[in-house]
Amino acid sequence: MPNLPKPRLRRSRAGSPAPAPAAGPAEPRVEILEHEGLRWINIERPGAAERAWLEERFDFHPLDYEDVASRNQRPKVDEYDDYLFMVLHFPVFDKQVGRLNAGELDMFVGPDFLITMPNASLQPVEYLFERCRTNEAFREGMFSKGAGYLLYKIVDDSFDYCFPMLAKMGNKLDRVEEDIFEGRSAEIVREISNVKQEVINFRKIIRPQRSVLRDLERTKQRYLAKDMDIYFDDIVDASERIWDVLENYKEVVEALEDTNESVLSHRVNDVLRVLTAFSVVILPLTLIASLWGMNVGVPGEGEEAAFWLILAGMLFLLVSMLSYFRRRGWL
């Protein structure tokens, strides 16, 4: 990586938006918190004005600015002499389409600054930033331990936010299992498909980050005190627990899908069994009616007693076959 100069930042009051560049067509939406020389700059959904604001104040690598502008970056950690650039993805539920999407969080981390740039509304980041803004004691406790600890809290809270989502998915799976055995197999095929899609999307978000978190654990010593090593180990552990739950959900949803198909197959077989039984019962009656309905002379032709005798024989045959099928459990 090229040897870049240390980023420059024009200081502003804690919690106040930074001034926009004079030449910019729109005022950038930038929020800054500062305490004891450490700054947290939060830029939600950065656009052209926000990127111009960053480029004016920081000497980051041009490729990093391209990654910030891109909407399809893979999770990664790029290490430079004076800072780290990170891209992480977290699940975000989109209510408009009713599915999980990946919310990207771009971060620049230096010895005296931390820049977060989510491209979607990430509630853990918003909540932590708001607490630091409104609670001076909390902000002092967070900022006094350095940029590394603040980075840990942001990433840790974002991963912890995944567990309530996993709990909701688990509740959905439990409801699907109950509905299968309550006779709603045909109606819940779509529900199983939706839950399966959520598990797949969740796995696509978490899986690429497992190696990224290991890289982060390797580079953590740059901005973290030695007695805080265990903190980033906790993030890796949380990621592995999330992955284990997703692996379990993947197996459960596949088992539920197989079970539902099996229940549907049994019901179809029951219907076919009843229809087959009735077809077999009607077949000899149809044969008898066909024989005595031919346009040739048959015994008893033209006699009323013969009609009632044939009808009684057909009724006896019908009752006998139904009783036999009933005893064999075919009906």
96 to 92, 93, 99: CA distances (angstroms): 12, 9, 8
Between the alpha carbon of residue 158 and those of residues 190, 273, 278, the distances in Å are 30, 55, 62
Question: What pLDDT digit, counting tens, does each position of 58-111 carry?
Answer: 888 889 888 888 877 888 888 888 888 999 999 888 777 777 888 889 999 988
Indicate if the pLDDT at residue 4 is higher than 60.
Answer: no
What residue has token string 């899908």? 257
Rounded to whole angstroms, the Cα distance separating 54 from 60 reads: 9
pLDDT for position 128? 92
**Total count of residues recorded for the chain:** 331
- What is the per-residue pLDDT for 73? 81
Answer yes or no: is pLDDT of 13 > 50.
no
Q: Residue 121 class from Cβ within 10 Å (0-12 exposed, 13-18 middle, 19+ buried)?
A: exposed
| pLDDT at position 117 | 92
Give the number of C-alpha atoms closer than 13 A to the C-alpha of residue 45, restricted to the C-beta side: 3
Could you tell me the domains of the chain? 1-160 (3.30.460.20), 268-327 (1.20.58)
| Chain centre distance of CA 66 | 28
Is the confidence at residue 145, as pLDDT, over 70? yes
Whether 248 shows a pLDDT value over 90: the answer reads: yes
Question: Average pLDDT in the 45-54 region?
Answer: 88
Lowest mean pLDDT across 57-61, 132-136, 174-178, 219-223: 219-223
Give the number of other Cβ atoms within 10 Å of residue 238's Cβ.
18
Paired tokens of 243 = 């992955």
Does pLDDT of 308 surpass 70? Answer: yes
CB neighbour burial string for 210-228, b if at least 16 within 10 angstroms, e if fewer: eebbebbbebbeebbeeee
Burial 17-41, CB ≥16 within 10 A → b, else e: ebebeeeeeeebbbbbbbbeebbbb
Distance CA(128)–CA(123), nearest Å, equals 8
56 has a pLDDT exceeding 80? yes
Cα dihedral angle (15, 20, 21, 25), rounded to 10 degrees? 160
From first CA to last CA, the distance across the chain in angstroms is 77
CA atoms of 249 and 247, how far apart (whole Å):
5
153 class by beta-carbon count within 10 Å (0-12 exposed, 13-18 middle, 19+ buried): middle
pLDDT tens profile 159-188 = 999 999 999 988 988 888 888 777 676 678
Helix residue spans in the chain (DSSP H): 48-57, 62-69, 123-134, 136-143, 147-160, 162-180, 189-206, 209-219, 229-292, 304-327
CA distance 290 to 296: 12
What pLDDT does 8 receive?
44
